[in-house]
Amino acid sequence: MLLYKQKKSQPSKGNRLLISITVLGSAGPIRFVVNEEELVATVIDTALKSYAREKRLPILGTDINNFVLYCPNAVAEALSPWETIGSLGVRNFMLCKKSQPEKAMDDAKSEISRKGTGSWKTWFNKSLNPKISSH
């Protein structure tokens, strides 16, 4: 009688996808293989690590909360971090930094307006002719 060991059933890995992520401001896309069941947040983390490992510019950082992933072909909104990467059936994505909240931008505008109401020509001339005061 011939005995054989049955293979242990391994959890299915699902389909694997080769995805391409273009980082806004970078020279070219990052390509890597992911499981279609992986969350968008995990894919963003992997993309940021790959980007840093390749020493690409501009330097982005590693905080996934500062970035959003877009699918340029399918929707105009950013993908939810809890969505699976294979749910849209596309393989090309765009990674962008989140925009600053409007409040922070309003604060920056008010800071600029407080610094002076002179024209840019006045500022430029002052920056070219630095005067050192003696008192």
Q: Residue 52: is its pLDDT beyond 50?
A: yes
Rg of the chain over all Cα atoms, to the nearest angstrom: 25
Q: What pLDDT digit, counting tens, does each position of 5-19 carry?
A: 444 445 556 789 999
Cα separation, 82 vs 64, in Å, equals 13
Q: Which residues of 104-121 are buried (b: 16+ CB within 10 A; e: fewer)?
A: eeeeeeeeeeeeeeeeee
> Which residue do the tokens 């391409």 mark?
20
Which pLDDT score, from 0 to 100, does residue 40 have? Answer: 94
What is the spatial distance between Cα 21 and Cα 92, in angstroms, rounded to a whole number? 6
In 3D space, the residue among 110, 124, 93 whose CA is nearest the CA of residue 18 turns out to be 93
Q: How confident is the model at residue 51 (pLDDT cuts 50, 70, 90)?
A: very high
The pLDDT tens digits of the residues spanning 83-132 come to 999 988 889 999 998 876 643 554 454 444 445 555 666 666 666 665 55
Q: What is the per-residue DSSP string for 52-94?
A: HHTT-SS---S-GGGEEEE-TTT-SSBPPTTSBGGGS---EEE
**What are the extents of the domains in the chain?**
16-97
pLDDT at 47: 94
**Separation between Cα atoms, residue 84 and residue 34, nearest integer Å:** 11
Is the domain defined by 16-97 classed in CATH 3.40.50.2000? no
